[in-house]
Structure 1
Amino acid sequence: MSVTNIPDKVKMRLWGVAAGRCQYEGCNEPLWKDTLTQAEFNAAYIAHIVADSPDGPRGDKILSPKLAKDVSNLMLMCDTHHRLIDREDVAGHPVQRLVEMKRRHEARIESVTSMMDNMQSHVLLYGANIGSHTTNVSYEKTTPAMAPLKYPIEKPAIEMSLGNSSFNDHEDLYWNVEKTQLKRQFEDKVKSRLGQGDIKHLSVFALAPQPLLIELGTLITDICPADVYQLHREPSDWVWQDHPDGFEYKIIVPGTRFDKVALNLSLSATIDNDRIYSVLGEDTSVWTLTIQSPNNDFLKSRQQLQMFREEIRKLFDQIKLMHGHENILHVFPAMPVATAVELGRVWMPKADLPFHLYDENRQYGGFSFAFVAGESKVPAR
């Protein structure tokens, strides 16, 4: 039990840096009200990391009197965790563990409270069935990836998934149903707000078959500033990681020029050109964008995604220059979700070749045509 009379100005500083919440790791309980009844009163306890007397929990003959009133040695806590660290499990809560709890909590509060208006972003979530798997893109699992550059301006997020869809991507109606609902929801929930100036920035989290992700990108376009995120496998989260040294994209130019042209995007896996020829015929010029070792978790950093945008923009211009402005570009993607969305965002319908999008499905035995990207017509309700 504390024997020190802590000055009011020190208490106020502690309440400020803790934002009035319990600083025990994983708790974060508001201490100005009862969470059950919502009655408002001071439910906080001020705990000492190094006890204010040498014989107290974590006490020290020299440090205890020195740090007794020092805010760096104080933690705001709920009753449960104050009892835990000082009575129930003193040995399990050494000084360094509590110091790290306090540091992390106060760093998080500082990060959140220092956010300015230009760091606001609307969260857009989109999911569609991939094969027999139902995707779930949740607000709670995605939004931590936005910090510290952006933060959500509102909750809940803008949801554009077709809830409880019974269609799978091997069924004939799947592409028409999913593309139609994607366009309608974008027009209802995003496009009108963009026109009104209500939405100024989007943070995009999506999991869906690649043609639909590309289509989503064509709807967002480059007109609306947006950050597109990638779900990583290791660790399993949406947080951007460090840029890998020596990373680069590689463009493979076709050796023979034909009127028919295809784009092979071998990034998350390698697509053999024979698989494209089996769909379009061997009289096809296949351009390839790839990396040294295609794999499904190569995309780690924001810089890699920006490099993709730059490379694909140059590639569009090269293909149009060689094959003419009136051609069609057949797109065969094996790529991470973020690059698929950015492919659609970079594409300019008035300047670039039309996209015919293909999707690989094992039940079809390979690639099959999905739909034409960016078509403006939506079937009538």
Structure 2
Amino acid sequence: MAKNNEPKKSEEKSKIRRRTLTSVEQAHLWVACGGICSYRGCNKRLILTTDGVLTNGGIIAHIIGHAKNSARHEYMEEYEFTQDTLETPRNLMLMCYDHSKRIDDTHSKHLYPPNVLFEMKKEHEAWVESLTEEKKKKSIALIHKRLGGPITNIDYEGEAPYILLDAIENQEEFNNFSKEGWEEGKRVNEELYKRFNEKIREREANVAEVYPLSPIPLLIHMGFLLTDTVPLSVYQLERETGVWVSDHPNQQKEVELSFSANVNEEDELAVLVSVSGKVKTKSVREVLGDNFDSLSFEINDPGLKRVLYKQDVLYIQSKIKEEIEKLLQEQDYGKIHLFYAGPAGLAIELGRGVNPRMWGEVCIYQYNARETPRYQYALSI
């Protein structure tokens, strides 16, 4: 009897074999959802990393399940599907991993009958279609996270600003703070920048998004490299919530920047930037001695959580650039030494503001409270 049943089992399996989506269908799903999870209220970008390897993090979720014991399969005929037509974009949604599991989980799938999911899909795709041309721009992400372990996805605060097509990354932890280590870090940055530009051209991207969390000298150098690319949005990780933020909800800057200059017509200029913490003149003297001019910038009440939003970052960056270049028109400095205590996003923007034809050599320092001196020379741009 068992042998006689074997052909039937094989025949039954062949009937429910899934059709492979064409590349056009896959692209349609991605563009229709804007590269964002289709679950109502989720803004998760569908690019993630697994063990440090970038992948398309979108899970193709079935509204009406394919297998006979799968979620909502019993509704197949009611919604005018057949076993052969379930594998079509009309029955599919792109979701993040968490929500694709939630709608199919034994304990929660009863909360997601087909009408709820079809409506969710319709709402999300209509929202993507209604986006302004600005938000429909195609984006490439640059993930530069060399502190701590790799991030596995990009959680964005509020509505995602662009359709994210692809990403490149360097998430290998940086722990060699020797001269050779910093030089290797610059070389890796240059290779990453090259790949980033290639990806922009390959995907014909209009904009790019940068997610930085790395040692400050590497970020300033990376920003310097990124000066001549497509328009960038630079993000800041809000550590308490684990989401990346950019624009301020009320579009207003929240910080004020004061500055002071000490000019004695020395050959070198020290630039002190106090945003996340206070850069002390005493610490700079430990490195440079007494023979330097200085420009000191400080926000009101420096602290780790003060500067998170684009409006604040661009205000500070433009003011620092303006005052440095104003002084450079009056003085002829052989070197500029940058001592920085601030967030990662502003570090990228400071690097983008360096004008090599006017600034000359810029020496960048890494802070370590356990070292003497506390600021150690890292690299130059």
Residue matched to 2:233: 227
Query: Of residues 124, 138, 143 in structure 1, which corresponds to 2:142?
Result: 124
Q: Which amino acid aligns with 1:30?
A: H
Name the residue aligned to 1:158: 168
User: 1:107-146 counterparts in 2 under 5 A?
Assistant: 108-115=124-131, 116=133, 118-129=136-147, 134-138=148-152, 140-142=153-155, 144-145=156-157
For the pair 1:31 / 2:63, whether they are aligned, the reply is yes
Decide whether the 8 Å contact of 2:39 with 2:120 is kept in 1.
no
What TM-score comes out, normalization by structure 2 length?
0.66
Equivalent pair of 2:275/2:298 in contact (CA under 8 Å): yes
For 2:243 and 2:336, how far apart are their aligned partners in 1? 33
Q: Over aligned residue pairs, what C-alpha RMSD do you find?
A: 4.1
Whether 1:341 aligns to 2:325 is: no
- Within the alignment, does 1:368 sit opposite 2:370 as a pair? no
Once the 2 structures are TM-superposed, how far is the Cα of residue 113 of structure 1 from its aligned partner?
3.9
Which residue among 289, 300, 307 is the counterpart of 2:315? 307
Distance in 2, Cα, partners of 1:357 & 1:195: 31
Question: For the residues of structure 2 that align with 1:372 and 1:330, how far apart are their CA atoms?
Answer: 9
What aligned pairs does 1:267-346 form with structure 2 within 5 A after superposition? 267-324=275-332, 327-346=334-353
Higher Cα Rg: structure 1 or 2? 1
Determine if contact 2:136/2:163 at 8 Å carries over to the other structure. Answer: no
1 CA distance for matches of 2:68 and 2:198?
40
> Structure 1 residue 196: deviation in Å?
6.7
- Aligned-pair distance for 1:293? 0.8
The sequence identity of aligned pairs, in percent, is: 20
Structure 1 residues 168, 148: closer, same or farther in 2, change over 3 A? closer
Which of 241, 249, 260 is 2:257 aligned to?
A: 249
Local SS of the residue matching 2:364: strand
**SS of residue paired to 2:376:** strand
Q: Where is the strand percentage greater, Structure 1 or Structure 2?
A: 2
Name 1:239's counterpart in structure 2. Answer: 245
Q: Deviations over 1:242-296 (max 9, x none)?
A: 3667521112222544222110011110011011011001111110111011111
| Structure 2 stretches lacking a partner, 5+ long | 1-31, 45-58, 79-102
Change (3 A) 1:183 1:246: closer
Q: Which residue matches 2:269?
A: 261
Query: Is the 2:71–2:104 Cα contact (8 Å) retained in structure 1?
Result: no
**d(CA) in 2 for partners of 1:28, 1:197:** 22
Deviations 1:68-100 (A, max 9, x none): xxxxxxxxx8796464599xxxxxxxxxxxx9x
1:221 alignment partner AA? T
Distance in 2 between the 1:124 and 1:146 partners? 19
Distance 2:330 2:143 in 1: 38
Alpha-carbon separation, structure 1, partners of 2:357 and 2:279: 29
Shift of 1:364: 2.4
Instruction: After TM superposition, give the deviation of residue 311 of structure 1 in Å.
Output: 1.0
The residue identity in structure 2 corresponding to 1:236 is G
Q: Quick one: distance in 2 between partners of 1:274 and 1:307?
A: 27
C-alpha separation between the residues in 1 aligned to 2:129 and 2:69?
27
Q: Is the 8 A contact 1:217 1:345 kept in 2?
A: yes
Whole-Å Cα distance in 1 between the matches of residues 128 and 222 of structure 2? 30
In structure 2, how many angstroms separate the alpha carbons of the residues matched to 1:278 and 1:199?
A: 46
Indicate conservation of the 8 Å contact 1:22/1:28, yes or no.
Answer: no
Q: Equivalents in 2 of 1:251, 1:195: separation in Å?
A: 41
String of CA shifts for 1:52-74, please: whole Å, max 9, x gaps.
Answer: xxxxxxxxxxxxxxxxxxxxxxx
User: What letter is aligned with 2:186?
Assistant: K
Assess, with a 3 A threshold, how the Cα gap between structure 1 residues 202 and 314 changes in structure 2: closer, same or farther: same
Deviation digits for residues 197-221 of structure 1 (CA, Å, limit 9, x no counterpart): 8343210001111000001101111
Output the CA distance in 2 between the equivalents of 1:123 and 1:84: 34
For residues 331 and 302 of structure 1, the distance between their equivalents in structure 2, rounded to whole angstroms, comes to 22
Aligned length: 300
Question: Amino acid of the residue matched to residue 362 of structure 1?
Answer: A
Asked if the contact 1:244/1:300 (under 8 Å) is kept, the reply is no
Could you say if the C-alpha distance between residues 24 and 196 of structure 1 is closer, same or farther in structure 2, counting changes exceeding 3 Å?
Answer: closer
8 Å contact kept, 1:170–1:361: no
Q: Matches of 2:377 and 2:321 in 1, distance apart?
A: 23
Q: Is the 8 A contact 1:260 1:284 kept in 2?
A: yes
In the aligned structure 2, how far is the partner of 1:344 from the partner of 1:35? 54
Between the aligned partners of 1:146 and 1:219, the Cα distance in structure 2 is 29
What secondary structure sits across from 2:377 in the alignment? strand
**Could you say which residue in structure 2 is the equivalent of 1:7?**
none
